[in-house]
Amino acid sequence: MYNPPMFQVITHASEVLTGAGIRAKDGRKVTDDDLGRILDGALVLSVKTVRGKVIPQRIEWVGPTSQLPKRFSKIRATNLKGKRAIIPGLVDCHTHLVFAGDRSEDFAERCAGVSYQEIARKGGGIARTVRATQLASEAELLKSAELRAREMFAFGVRTLEIKSGYGLTLEDELKILRVAAQLKRKLPEMHIHSTFLGAHDFPPGIDRACKESRKDSIRQIVDVMLPEVKRLGLADSCDVFVDDGYFTLREGQHILTRAKQLGFSLKLHADELSNTESTRLAVKMAALSADHLLQVSLSGIRALAKSRKTVAVLLPGTAFYLKADHAPARKLIQAGACVALATDFNPGSSMCASLPAIMTIAALYLQMTRAEIFAAVTYNGAKALGCEDRLGTLEVGNLASFAILPFPKFEELYYRFAWSAGR
């Protein structure tokens, strides 16, 4: 009789970085000592076999290979021969993964000096992607999203947030969220968190200068979309793009209040293109995260530093791609905020699926240290999704989310700039 394996044993990793000290500090003001670096390390996981595929479940043991407990030493191990490092599975906590079409035309215009907002006013921008996404079938969207998720997996990402927001009608938003749900089933090796971003922009045909039209479309989100998304169990969180030319602070607050009542956790595209004090709103409403923060004020920074809940999610790929000034990462970290990094993968402002490339930008332009970067893409990213109690570090009892790197040192993940996952 076939006895499926119960444990997976990995030995002789060049190093295992557990990140245990990062959890102890809730991801704030971390230093090299918090990385929990174990040289010649081993990792033991409990496993389950799903459709013939061995899926790791929980972390059973972690430590130096020389101290591997006897009960695991009889199991045939995967020997990494000192050539590869093991880290907690990376968390990309802010992506717009599901969309159709591309924005290469917008990009060419931006390269010629036209601003992101100007392109949006002329009918490009988010609206261009919305048109393409509305026309696409669920199967087409699933196919492209799966390729993108697999690309991210190859870069070490094991936990992924996916926002809707390129549908904007009930049917099209549900279509995108169903794609995210299908991805969850297709990729059991990844943890997928889905976020409803129906308030990403106003749908086509809505006159955003007209108060009544705005009200109607917000009513549609609050009274129809949110309850339906909840009823179908299609999203964990709700996000709003509060910014100049998009949703106002009051509109954002209105939508998020209803979302909270319905039981969604909250996220916010905050202080990205202009300062709207939306970061403070995120903290006030105990959102999981305030994301972007290119224009965050000193009081926004202070609010984040005080919050035990709201993570500052920085997306330096977007500032790079929009040629904007970067978020004040050092100020946030020094003030005591919990700072995460993510790709913001989307066709307009960050067409980049590589979290390691974002880490490189963070090292060079946000002046983040290696421990801060590590924390930002592991524990802090998990906290921005509300799952830091089980993900983000390699500690016994946690979910078995880990990545074996194609390099002997963790630092090579981003010191080696824009490496190809297929190498």
| Residue ranges in contact with ligand NIG by CB under 6 A | 96, 125-126, 129, 241, 269, 272, 318, 344, 346-349
Question: Among residue numbers 334 through 353, which ones bind Fe ion (CB under 5 A)?
Answer: 344
Closest CA to 159 of 135, 124, 189: 189
Closer to ligand NIG by CB, 163 or 191: give it.
Answer: 163
> Which tokens is 217 given?
């479309």
In the complex with ligand NIG, the residue whose CB is nearer, 17 or 287, is 287
Q: Which residue is nearest to ligand NIG (CB)?
A: 348
Residue nearest to Fe ion (CB): 344
Instruction: For Fe ion, give the closer residue by CB, 106 or 344.
Output: 344
Phi/psi of residue 400, nearest 5 degrees = -80, 70
Measured from the CB of residue 341, what is the shortest distance to Fe ion in angstroms?
A: 13
CA–CA separation, 180 and 48 (whole Å): 23
CB 130 within 8 A of CB 166: yes
Q: Is residue 406 within 8 Å of 423, Cβ to Cβ?
A: yes
- Helix, strand, or coil (residue 78): strand
CB of 152 to ligand NIG, least distance (A): 16
Binding partner selected for residue 272 from ligand NIG, Fe ion, none, CB under the kind-specific 5 to 8 Å limit: ligand NIG
Exposed/middle/buried for 82, CB within 10 Å: 0-12, 13-18, 19+? Answer: middle
- CB of residue 197 vs ligand NIG: minimum separation in angstroms? 8
What is the C-alpha separation between 135 and 172, in angstroms, rounded?
Answer: 9
Nearer to ligand NIG, 107 or 415 (CB): 107
Helices (H), 232-343: 249-262, 278-284, 298-306, 316-322, 329-335
Q: What does 388 interact with, of ligand NIG, Fe ion, none (CB < 5 to 8 A by kind)?
A: none
Counting every residue written for the chain, the total comes to 423
CB of 99 to ligand NIG, least distance (A): 7
Given the complex with ligand NIG, which of 154 and 351 has the nearer CB atom? 351
**In this structure, what token pair is assigned to residue 101?**
């079409």
Give the residue with the Cβ less far from ligand NIG, 84 or 96: 96
CB of 267 vs ligand NIG, minimal distance in Å: 11
Give the whole-angstrom CA distance, residue 253 versus residue 60: 43
**Comparison of 201 and 344: residue with beta carbon closer to Fe ion:** 344
- Rounded Cα–Cα distance for residues 346 and 99 (Å): 8
Separation CA 146–CA 126 (nearest Å): 21
Q: Which of ligand NIG, Fe ion, none binds 265 (CB below 5-8 Å, type-dependent)? A: none
Nearest-approach distance from CB 345 to ligand NIG, in angstroms: 9
Q: How far apart are CA 132 and CA 324, in angstroms?
A: 27
Residue number, 1 or 112, with CB nearest to ligand NIG:
112
How far apart are CB 116 and Fe ion at their closest, in Å?
Answer: 13
State the alpha helices, DSSP H only, in 32-125.
Answer: 70-73, 104-111, 116-121
Q: How far is the CB of 319 from ligand NIG (least distance, A)?
A: 10
Residue 125 touches which of ligand NIG, Fe ion, none (Cβ within 5-8 Å per kind): ligand NIG
Strand (E) or helix (H) holding 38: strand 37-50
Q: Residue 239, interface with Fe ion (CB under 5 A)? A: no
Residues 396/61, Cβ–Cβ less than 8 Å: yes
**Residue 241 C-beta: closest distance to ligand NIG, Å:** 5
Q: Which is nearer to ligand NIG, 23 or 163 (CB)?
A: 163
Contact positions with Fe ion (CB under 5 A) in 246-285:
none
Nearest by Cα to 314 from 117, 32, 88, 92: 92
* Site residues (vs Fe ion, CB under 5 A): 344
